[in-house]
Amino acid sequence: MRFIEQEKKLRIYNIDTPGTIQFRHGELFPNTICSLVLGSSGCGKTNFNILCVINCFTKFAWTVPLKSKTGKAVTNTMSKILLDRSPKFLQLDNGKEFYNTIFDTLMIKYNIHKYSMFSIMKACVVERFNRTLKEKMFREFTDCGSHKWISILPKLLNEHNNSKHRTIGMTPTKADLNPSPVTIKQREINNEKIKFKVGDNVRIGTQKGVFTKGYLPNWSSEIFEILKINRTLPVTYQLQNYTGQPIAGCFYSSEIHKTNHPNEYLIEKIIILKLVKQKKNISNLEQSIKSYTNKIDKIEHLIEQNNKSMLVLEEQTENLQLTCVDIVQRMSYTAASLEKIRENIKGIKKIFPSIQSQFNTIEAIIYFQCIFGVNNKYFIKEMSIVDTEIWATQHWIFKNSKSMQDSKSQKTNKWLLHKFHQLSINYGDIEYGEL
């Protein structure tokens, strides 16, 4: 984003945070918890924290040792301090020891409005008091050769409250008893005019640390709009972003800088790699879909071929069934015809007894053919022709009757099929060698 030429320099080290807003006597008490990791006391080794509270107007302070930082312990300790006096506003650290239901009940009881700061330089008055207290405490540690601080804490607090303070020009104890001179001095210091108006576009000053590079911008690239002006001492401003959402906290006039909307904007982040990755993922997905589609097409083709094969198989099965039915019908017709011939032969035997033996031979063969049928595909394994007059027997045995390789069986079957009616008693003996 293109930066507009700045008309003034930002002096972060002189900016007063909202913790330094001066209220009337007894209105604001900033407090915090001071931790002493090295401390040990004669009253017990569990006291490693100090609850520090200071009057922002008179600089009068209170300190109470804490055994733990739980909400219940902090609330009980704070209730002892509020027995003497209660402020209208209480600035706190943004911790769970202050933001809980037990502490909220105490605030409601004394009608106190609590709040926290969003700046890194929060509660500067009480933090400066913590530094002074620790400096004096560690001097005592060096002098006594011990880290027992419980016994010396009241002494150090008394020294602070009865020492002349540079800001108010008197001791905190005197200012607490007679705050009028402090009020006149604060009005002279905080006589500031309102520099901006509602709707102005401003930039926020960047908070730089000790090791922050000096060539980095002093103002934010994002532009905000003034939403509301608070007529406090000094004046504070509430801002909102370009979407109309309010920004948490308030800002002093030295923390913001009036600007205009730029005509050019720089690219904040290059996302072409993400787009390429998405395109690559999409192409990979398309390839996967194509491969799966090809596999599905192949499977459908195989299923279609199998269906056609099944249809052909069903058709062949149906034809085979019809053929079998036809064969059965023919066999039944042939059997009926042969049975009629057999009955006719029996009638001839009664009329012509002289040719009975020849008809007996033919009858034996007819019985054989009647069992297997005229168009049978099986080979004769064994056959006998019996002469009923002289009881002479002609017996044939054919090996490998189920194999097509036995030419003797093939010839015998074919010959018997066409010329069985020519056989007689003597004819079978003569033709045996030829068969």
Query: What is the pLDDT, as a whole number, of residue 157?
Result: 92
Q: Which of 179, 173, 174, 181 is nearest to 157 (CA)?
A: 173
Query: What is the pLDDT, as a whole number, of residue 350?
Result: 59
Nearest-angstrom CA–CA distance, 82 and 173: 17
206 lies in the same domain as 88: no
Nearest-angstrom CA–CA distance, 160 and 158: 5
Cα dihedral 302, 307, 310, 312 sign? negative
Nearest-angstrom CA–CA distance, 55 and 107: 17
Residues counted in the chain: 435
Cα dihedral 364, 370, 375, 381 sign? negative
Query: What is the pLDDT, as a whole number, of residue 433?
Result: 29
Q: Which of 101, 122, 67, 377 is nearest to 248 (CA)?
A: 122
Helix (H) or strand (E) holding 153, with range, is helix 153-161
Query: What is the pLDDT, as a whole number, of residue 421?
Result: 52
Let me know if residue 207 belongs to a domain: yes
Structure tokens at 433: 């060698």
278 lies in the same domain as 364: no
Q: Where are the alpha helices (DSSP H) in 352-424?
A: 356-372, 407-419
Let me know if residue 119 belongs to a domain: yes
176 lies in the same domain as 225: no
Query: What is the pLDDT, as a whole number, of residue 101?
Result: 92
Nearest-angstrom CA–CA distance, 159 and 29: 20
Query: Which neighbouring-strand residues pair with 32?
Result: 52
Query: What is the pLDDT, as a whole number, of residue 365?
Result: 46
Q: How many Cα neighbours within 13 Å face the side chain of 148?
A: 8
158 lies in the same domain as 73: yes
Output b/e per residue, 68-107; b: 16+ Cβ within 10 A: ebebebbbebbeebbeeebbeebbbbeeebbeeeebeebb
Structure tokens at 193: 């005019």
Nearest-angstrom CA–CA distance, 366 and 339: 9
Q: Please, which residues have CB within 8 angstroms of residue 223's CB and are 6 or more apart in sequence?
A: 201, 202, 203, 242, 259, 261
8 lies in the same domain as 32: no
Q: Which of these three, 216, 242, 268, is where a domain ends?
A: 268
Let me know if residue 133 belongs to a domain: yes
Q: Which of 269, 261, 259, 264 is nearest to 218 (CA)?
A: 259
Given phi > 0 = left and psi -120 to 50 = alpha, else beta, which region is 249?
A: left
Let me know if residue 344 belongs to a domain: no
380 lies in the same domain as 231: no
Q: Does pTM surpass 0.85?
A: no
Query: What is the pLDDT, as a whole number, of residue 318?
Result: 81
Nearest-angstrom CA–CA distance, 192 and 22: 13
Query: What is the pLDDT, as a whole number, of residue 239?
Result: 92
Query: What is the pLDDT, as a whole number, of residue 7?
Result: 37
Structure tokens at 19: 């913790």
Q: Which of 120, 134, 131, 163 is nearest to 19 (CA)?
A: 120
Per-residue model confidence as pLDDT tens for the chain (435 residues) = 333 333 333 333 333 334 333 444 445 666 656 654 443 333 334 557 888 999 888 889 999 998 888 889 999 988 888 887 888 888 888 888 889 999 999 999 999 988 887 776 677 888 888 898 999 999 988 888 888 888 899 999 999 999 998 888 889 998 888 877 777 666 655 566 788 999 899 999 887 777 888 888 888 888 899 999 988 777 889 999 888 888 888 888 888 999 887 766 667 677 766 554 555 555 666 677 777 778 888 888 888 888 888 888 888 888 887 777 777 777 666 666 666 666 666 665 555 555 554 545 444 444 444 344 444 444 455 555 554 444 455 555 544 444 444 555 556 666 665 555 555 443 333 333 232
328 lies in the same domain as 384: no
Query: Which neighbouring-strand residues pair with 282?
Result: none
133 lies in the same domain as 77: yes
Helix (H) or strand (E) holding 277, with range, is helix 272-351
Angle CA(105)–CA(106)–CA(111) in degrees, nearest 5?
Answer: 95
Query: Which neighbouring-strand residues pair with 62?
Result: 53
The total number of structural domains that make up the chain = 4
74 lies in the same domain as 150: yes
Nearest-angstrom CA–CA distance, 278 and 315: 55
Nearest-angstrom CA–CA distance, 33 and 74: 9
Domain range enclosing 330: 270-338
Q: What share of the chain is helix, strand, coil (3-state, %, to 5)?
A: 45, 15, 40
Tell me the CATH number at 223: 2.30.30
Q: Which of these three, 155, 189, 223, is where a domain ends?
A: 189
206 lies in the same domain as 140: no
Other beta carbons within 10 Å of 124: 18
Let me know if residue 347 belongs to a domain: no
Contacts 24+ apart (CB under 8 A), 185-194: 186/22, 186/57, 186/233, 187/233, 190/22, 190/233, 190/234, 192/233, 192/234, 192/235, 192/253, 194/229, 194/231, 194/235
261 lies in the same domain as 384: no
Structure tokens at 321: 């069934």
Tell me the CATH number at 168: 3.30.420.10
Q: Which of these three, 156, 189, 222, is where a domain ends?
A: 189
End-to-end Cα spacing for the chain: 117
Let me know if residue 345 belongs to a domain: no
115 lies in the same domain as 246: no
Let me know if residue 343 belongs to a domain: no
Let me know if residue 80 belongs to a domain: yes
